[in-house]
Each structure stands twice: as C-alpha cells, then as structure tokens.
C-alpha cells in the first residue's frame, strides 16, 4: 500500500475495485459497508456487545460489501460449526424498485409548514444526525457511461446500500471463487498437540496473499488487475480458540499487521472483550494490549440487558452506543478519519447506533427533548389528566430522528449560522 501511493502518480495504474483515494492525503480507502464508517486499509478491532449481535452485523456488512465490490473475502470463526452458515446470513443489496419507506425516513413536508413561530429556521438545512448514503444503487449505474470502458467494467459504487431483510443469493456464496473460508476446527476425534489456531490462520492468510498477488511487494503481470483482500474474523479470543499462551494472539495480530502493511488488504476482527474484564467496565490488560496492536478500535455497547439503559428515554431511538477508542494514524500524525467523518465532529460527539428494519445506522447521539414530545409543557388544571400525562411519557412516540428545527446548539451540528 505504501509503494502503491507512488505509483498512482503515473496515471496508468487503476485502483483496485471497491477502493478510492482519500481526498486528504491520497491514502487508499475501503468501504466497510456502513456509510458512516470508511476505513483505511488497516486492522480494525470491534469490541463486541454482550447479549446481542450488533458487532456481528457490522462484520457482515464489511464482508458483503467485499463480495459486491468483487474483492477477495476471507472469513474465519470458531463460533459456528460451518463458516458457510455465517456467509449465508449476509444481507444483500437494496432493490431500487422497493419503496424506501423506512420507519422514520418519512420526513413529512408538513413539519416545514409548521414553523410559524420559528420561521427564521425555515431556510436552514435539516438537522443531519446520520450520514446519507449518496451512492447510487447498482441498477442505476448501468445507465452511466462516463468513465466506463465496456459493459462489464462498470464502476461499482464505493459503498452500496444493503437491505437487512434480504439475504444473499445462495449461488453467490456457492459459486464465488473469490472467497476463502478458513475452518479452524480441529479434526473430529483428533486432539492435535500444540494446535495453535492463530498460526494456522496466519499461514492461510499468508498463502492467500501470495497466491492472489495482494502483496504490494510483488509486481503483478500486466493483465491481472489488482484486487483487495478483506479479512473478517468473528469472535477471536473467545473460549473456543484454544491456545497455549496468551501471547499467541498478540503475535498473530503483530504478524497480521506486518502482512497487511505490505498488502492490499484490510481486516475487521470482532472480539468478545467483555469476557476479559476483571472489574466493572474496566478494560483488562489483556484487551488493552490487543488494542495497542491494532490500528483502530471501536466498541459496540448495546442497551439490551442493562436495566438502566433499557428504561431510559433514548432507548426507543437508539439501540446502543458506539465508541471510537482509537483511530488509525497511518502515515500521518493526525488520524485522517477525524477530518473525513462528519459524524464524529473530530471525535467530540457521542455516537449511537440503531438497527432499523432494513438497515443499521450510526448517528450522533443526542438526548431527546426533556419529557418527550407528546407531553404537555403546561400542566392542565384538571387533576384527572395527570394519569394521562404519565401514559404519554411512557409511550414516547418521538420522531426524534427527524427533528427539523434545531433551536440553539445541538451537539454535532455542523453549520448553524445562528450560533455565536
């Protein structure tokens, strides 16, 4: 990847499928499948959530984005008997004919007319709490002929939109030659001494890199186009991964980092970090060491299972919090995603995620207005209505994601000329 940067300046090399150059420093970016997360080619660690499977969902997005972009995909896990089952469960592309009527995306035009008092805010943009996916849907690309050489070399969008209710067509999994599923289960009834799943996995990855010319050290033949390798590992270091010492995982990650630095590839690894905490919510030293070995670390914390959070007002809108612990600072002092990400506002914003019926989004986390939207501000004189108020509070049908007229400073808002 490092040497690739120099070659780009001679405009003869074509970028691998599914990547684009970062506008800030020319580094190669790869899409994770979720519009709000764009990744430099590096190792991303996702700390899993307890009781729920949101981290698994992020990994699925990453892998299916790779399949759609025709990148080579390598996947391994010890959580399931057959890695194929995991792949069968991947979501698939949105069909352009489907109505995009998702829950609260129906931004009714009436809300704009209601601004009688706050009429000054009418002309301002809507409060963008999430990143809109600007990429075109696959089918529309067929009509676009700019920059395409032939019918087959159609420029795929950088980040495709996926529909969680649709699962991936079977034939894509079965016939896909660009996929490697690594089976780390020991053979039945054989207990191999010194079996180290990390070593096996590492050797497999090395082989794949060599065979498919992902390494930036080797020059590919003229006809072969460069491709990108996406590595996905689910629940590394879970109890199913038996290894002799705790250092095996570090060595694996260190070696993986070294391999990926000189290859066109990115890895997304999920780890059940909550299994290793010694005391409440403190990162154990084991996990801390792993975090140091990885380029980027994010954490998914869901509200499910913790009573304080499930009863809170915001649990209706968000399903959990999304933390960014470490940003990749490859080849620069400042993490490049700090500039690119509108969402995080340079790291200052809290992020939450929500799982809608059809997609998974990450948004800036902001508390709903005090008391909910339906509650009356002025208490009624009639005493019998007090119970009614309480009902409204519990229902809390807040269209919070659609809050158009922002008054005052809302965290995460980029442009507000009325702030002073």
Partner 1 sequence: MGYASLDSSLSFPDNNLPPNKKSILITDTLSASGNFLIHHFIVNQIKSDKHVILVGFSQIFNHYLTIGRKLGVNLTLANQKGLLSFIDGLTSLYSQTDLFSKFNSTVTATTTTTTNNQTSVLTCDSLSDSPISKESLHNFYKIIKQIIETRHSSIDDSRVCLIFDDLSVLIYSGFSVRDILEFVKACRMMIEKYNGSLVMLVHADEDITQSSLDDELDQEIFLKSLIYQSEYLLSVRGLGSGFSKDVSGEITIARGPRNQDKWFRPSTLHYKILDNNVQFFVKGFSQGVL
* Least Cβ distance, residue 48 to partner 1 (angstroms): 18
* Least Cβ distance, residue 287 to partner 1 (angstroms): 10
Q: Which residue of 42, 159, 168, 202 would you call a contact of partner 1, by CB under 8 A?
A: 202
The yes or no reply on residue 259 touching partner 1 (CB under 8 A) is yes
Nearest to 419 by CA among 404, 402, 406: 406
* Least Cβ distance, residue 336 to partner 1 (angstroms): 10
**Residue whose tokens read 């990400």:** 341
Of 49-57, 134-142, 145-153, 287-295, the segment contacting partner 1 by CB under 8 A is: 287-295
The yes or no reply on residue 246 touching partner 1 (CB under 8 A) is yes
Q: Which residue of 77, 129, 215, 317 would you call a contact of partner 1, by CB under 8 A?
A: 215
293: left (phi > 0), else alpha (psi -120 to 50), else beta? alpha
The yes or no reply on residue 226 touching partner 1 (CB under 8 A) is no
Q: Which residue of 117, 192, 217, 415 would you call a contact of partner 1, by CB under 8 A?
A: 217
Distances (CA, A) of 194 to 164, 190, 197, 244, 412: 41, 12, 9, 7, 51
Nearest to 276 by CA among 246, 242, 320: 246
**Parallel, antiparallel, or unpaired: how do β-strands 229-234 and 72-77 relate?**
parallel
The yes or no reply on residue 211 touching partner 1 (CB under 8 A) is no
* Least Cβ distance, residue 186 to partner 1 (angstroms): 20
Q: Which residue of 21, 118, 174, 334 would you call a contact of partner 1, by CB under 8 A?
A: 334
Q: Which residue of 238, 240, 284, 405 would you call a contact of partner 1, by CB under 8 A?
A: 284
Question: Quick one: tokens of 179?
Answer: 């996929």
Q: Which residue of 11, 171, 278, 383 would you call a contact of partner 1, by CB under 8 A?
A: 278
Considering the complex, state which of residue 104 and residue 210 has its C-beta at the smaller distance from partner 1: 210
Three-state DSSP class for residue 215 = strand
The yes or no reply on residue 415 touching partner 1 (CB under 8 A) is no
Q: Can you give 99-164 as a three-state secondary structure string? A: CCCCHHHCCCCHHHHCCCCCHHHCCCCCCCCECCCCCCCHHHHCCCCCCCCCCCCCCCCCCCCEEE
Question: 34-66 burial, b if ≥16 CB within 10 A, otherwise e?
Answer: bbbbbbbbbbbbbbbbeebbbbbbbbbbbbbbb
The yes or no reply on residue 254 touching partner 1 (CB under 8 A) is yes
* 55/83 Cα distance (integer angstroms): 17
The yes or no reply on residue 257 touching partner 1 (CB under 8 A) is yes
Considering the complex, state which of residue 226 and residue 289 has its C-beta at the smaller distance from partner 1: 289
Q: Which residue of 114, 125, 126, 288 would you call a contact of partner 1, by CB under 8 A?
A: 288
Give the start-end residues of each E strand in 356-415. 360-364
* 412/351 Cα distance (integer angstroms): 10
* 12/252 Cα distance (integer angstroms): 36
The yes or no reply on residue 255 touching partner 1 (CB under 8 A) is yes
The yes or no reply on residue 145 touching partner 1 (CB under 8 A) is no
Q: Which residue of 88, 178, 313, 330 would you call a contact of partner 1, by CB under 8 A?
A: 330
The yes or no reply on residue 206 touching partner 1 (CB under 8 A) is yes
Q: Which residue of 279, 280, 383, 394 would you call a contact of partner 1, by CB under 8 A?
A: 279
Scan residues 339-368 and list those touching partner 1 (CB under 8 A): 345-348
* 382/388 Cα distance (integer angstroms): 11
Considering the complex, state which of residue 285 and residue 409 has its C-beta at the smaller distance from partner 1: 285
**Parallel, antiparallel, or unpaired: how do β-strands 351-355 and 360-364 relate?**
antiparallel
* Least Cβ distance, residue 277 to partner 1 (angstroms): 10
Considering the complex, state which of residue 166 and residue 261 has its C-beta at the smaller distance from partner 1: 261
* 25/186 Cα distance (integer angstroms): 44
- The residues that touch partner 1, with contacts defined as CB under 8 A, are 2-3, 199, 202-203, 206, 210, 215, 217-218, 245-247, 250-251, 254-255, 257-259, 261-262, 278-279, 282-286, 288-289, 291-293, 297, 325-326, 329-334, 345-348
């Amino acid at each position: 990847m490092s040497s690739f940067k120099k070659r780009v300046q001679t405009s003869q090399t074509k970028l691998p499928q599914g990547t684009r150059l970062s506008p800030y420093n020319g580094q190669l970016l790869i899409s994770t499948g979720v519009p709000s997360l764009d990744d430099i080619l590096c190792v991303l660690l996702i700390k899993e959530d307890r009781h729920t499977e949101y981290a698994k969902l992020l990994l699925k997005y990453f892998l299916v984005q790779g399949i759609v972009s025709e990148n080579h995909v390598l996947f391994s896990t010890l959580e399931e008997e057959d890695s194929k089952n995991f792949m069968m469960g991947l979501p698939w592309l949105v069909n352009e004919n489907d109505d995009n009527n998702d829950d609260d995306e129906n931004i009714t035009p009436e809300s704009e007319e209601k601004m009688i008092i706050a009429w000054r805010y009418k002309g301002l943009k809507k409060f963008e709490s999430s990143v809109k996916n600007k990429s075109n849907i696959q089918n529309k690309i067929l009509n676009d002929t700019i920059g395409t050489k032939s019918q087959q070399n159609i420029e795929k969008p950088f980040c495709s939109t996926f529909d969680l209710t649709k699962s991936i067509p079977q034939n894509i999994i079965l016939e896909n030659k660009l996929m490697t599923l690594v089976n780390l289960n020991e053979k039945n009834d054989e207990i191999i001494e010194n079996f180290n799943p990390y070593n096996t996995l590492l050797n497999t990855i090395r082989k794949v890199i060599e065979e498919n010319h992902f390494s930036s050290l080797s020059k590919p033949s003229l006809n072969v186009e460069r491709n990108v390798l996406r590595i996905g590992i689910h629940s590394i270091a879970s109890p199913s991964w038996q290894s002799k010492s705790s250092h095996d995982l570090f060595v694996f990650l260190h070696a993986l980092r070294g391999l990926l630095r000189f290859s066109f590839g990115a890895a997304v690894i999920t780890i059940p970090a909550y299994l290793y905490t010694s005391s409440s919510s403190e990162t154990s030293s084991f996990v801390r060491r792993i975090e140091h070995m990885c380029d980027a670390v994010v954490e998914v914390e869901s509200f499910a299972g913790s009573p304080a959070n499930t009863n809170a007002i915001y649990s209706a809108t968000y399903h959990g919090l999304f933390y960014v612990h470490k940003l990749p600072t490859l080849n620069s002092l400042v993490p490049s995603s700090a500039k690119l990400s509108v969402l995080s506002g340079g790291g200052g914003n809290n992020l939450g995620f929500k799982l809608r019926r059809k997609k998974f989004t990450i948004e800036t986390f902001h508390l709903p207005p005090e008391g909910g939207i339906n509650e009356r501000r002025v208490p009624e004189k009639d005493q019998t209505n007090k119970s009614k108020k309480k009902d409204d509070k519990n229902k809390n049908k807040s269209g919070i994601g659609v809050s158009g007229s922002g008054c005052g400073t809302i965290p995460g808002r980029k442009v507000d000329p009325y702030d002073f």
